[in-house]
Chains A and B, each alone.
Chain A
């Protein structure tokens, strides 16, 4: 028994030791959104960046609201999000110094294939949302202060609706879990196209509304303030920031496909 305990102790300590041997490569920590991670975009473009610069990028994928919070507390080196109003506020508060537009995709509305609210022939997205509200068809909302949730709330406001009632279900969850729930409830949902295309459990949900200019979804990279966050790896983060808008970075984004479809469209200046 003594021997066994000694053995367990030694092997445990050995595991601690082997763990500490990892992580020799320089890296930055990137706070970003679930849409970019869940689709596999980072898995496709980060190796190209690492090969070019020798810098690893560790991605913490959360909602845009939480990504801002992680960066605000000084826990990330770089930020890639999609909420123009939030980004401007973040810079105005002095947390970040530079914003570069990297790529875009668009939002779509998905719902039950029989389309009980009849949104598929709507003229505009506000029209589609009014039809959902008027018919009180179940609608699953992120409700998590993410970029997508903020965009959805903005559109309800533009449609002149304050969504509430039994039909409007705020889930307080990420895009994937929200789509899972919407699929189970046979509800409408507002989602970014990339997550929708990569999503594998649609059940009876289909894409019902797309193409309105109001559904444009811009992603931007933010460079954090050197003064505010002296400990952050600014040199490495700046390389990532610049690489994203470089020819090579933009090409890598363009080349990324989900089931043969391009889902993010590079649009750096």
Chain B
């Protein structure tokens, strides 16, 4: 019989055992999701800021598309990347299917719209506040961009964390493009699916608890960094 209490004790036993397989699964999960969020941020922060500052035909279409893509089902993103990277697909020669790189690519696609859309919103609000001052300083939009991004950095940290949450929680995309290969592409979420399918529910839930604790720790670190920085700024 499954009780929450034996899932907690299973989680605790898993952590205390410091099982090398578990550690490598945790490390791979963090690696894939952090790299994906890093790459997505590099692209999405400037894109989001540019969308906030420039007016051009079709801008609203782009904004609506980005907002809609925030809800892109991970399994669809996974399927697209699968077809792209499969040997029979356009990028098949790269031989990337069923590797961690493929998982990073799929997660970048999932995370990028979230960071871009939310950045656009943050920067637009900030620009509305400071538009007069910035213009009076004679700053071009291109010069405004880094200033506004820097000024919004604490809000943007939350935006990036939202992206990380999406990446670390999804299972549909990494399952399809990674293949859940033991020791190679098995991450926390795919392990949870595997253990559930074996009927090993306490272990599955135990892994879920570990994942939640990790994500909480990362959020806490980010929160501490931003609080400390805010205090220094006075």
Contact = CB atoms under 8 A, between A and B. Distances in A.
A38 B88 contact: no
B95 A176 contact: no
A24 to B, nearest CB: 13
Contact of B98 (A4, A29, A34): A29
B31 A15 contact: yes
B8 interface: no
A175 B197 contact: yes
A59 interface: yes
Interface string B196-209: 11111100000000
Interface string A44-74: 0000000000000011111000000000011
A174 B197 contact: yes
B199 A4 contact: no
Contacts of A58: 98, 179, 181-182, 184
B88 A61 contact: no
A1 interface: yes
Contact of B196 (A29, A180, A202): A180
Contacts of A23: 184
Interface in B187-215: 194, 196-201
Interface residues of A, number: 35
B168 to A, nearest CB: 14
A35 to B, nearest CB: 11
B73 interface: no
Contacts of B98: 29, 58, 60, 75
A164 interface: no
Contacts of A38: 194, 197-198
A179 B199 CA distance: 8
A15 B198 contact: no
Nearest to B88: A73
A199 B198 contact: yes
A59 B181 contact: yes
Name the interface size band of chain B: 20 to 34
A15 B34 contact: yes
Nearest to B201: A201
Given A58-B184, A176-B196, A19 B88 contact: no
Contact of A73 (B31, B86, B153, B180): B86
Given A15-B31, A60-B179, A61-B180, A199 B199 contact: yes
Interface string A170-185: 0000111101100100
B180 to A, nearest CB: 7
B222 to A, nearest CB: 10
Nearest to A178: B197
Contact of A229 (B35, B87, B198, B225): B87
B199 A202 contact: yes
A242 interface: no
B95 to A, nearest CB: 7
Interface in B82-110: 86-89, 92-93, 95, 97-98, 100
Contacts of A183: 199
A42 B181 CA distance: 11
B76 to A, nearest CB: 17
A225 to B, nearest CB: 13
Interface in A212-267: 229, 231
Nearest to A174: B197
Contact of A12 (B35, B181, B198): B35
B192 to A, nearest CB: 12
A19 B199 contact: no
Interface of A: 1, 4, 9, 12, 15-16, 19, 23, 29, 34, 38, 42-43, 58-62, 73-75, 174-177, 179-180, 183, 198-202, 229, 231
25 contacts: A15-B30, A19-B31, A19-B100, A29-B98, A29-B181, A42-B182, A43-B182, A58-B181, A58-B182, A59-B181, A73-B86, A73-B87, A73-B88, A74-B92, A75-B98, A176-B199, A179-B199, A180-B197, A198-B198, A199-B199, A200-B201, A201-B2, A202-B199, A231-B87, A231-B93
- The list of the 8 closest CB pairs from A to B, nearest first, reads A176-B197, A201-B199, A74-B87, A60-B179, A200-B199, A73-B88, A199-B199, A58-B181
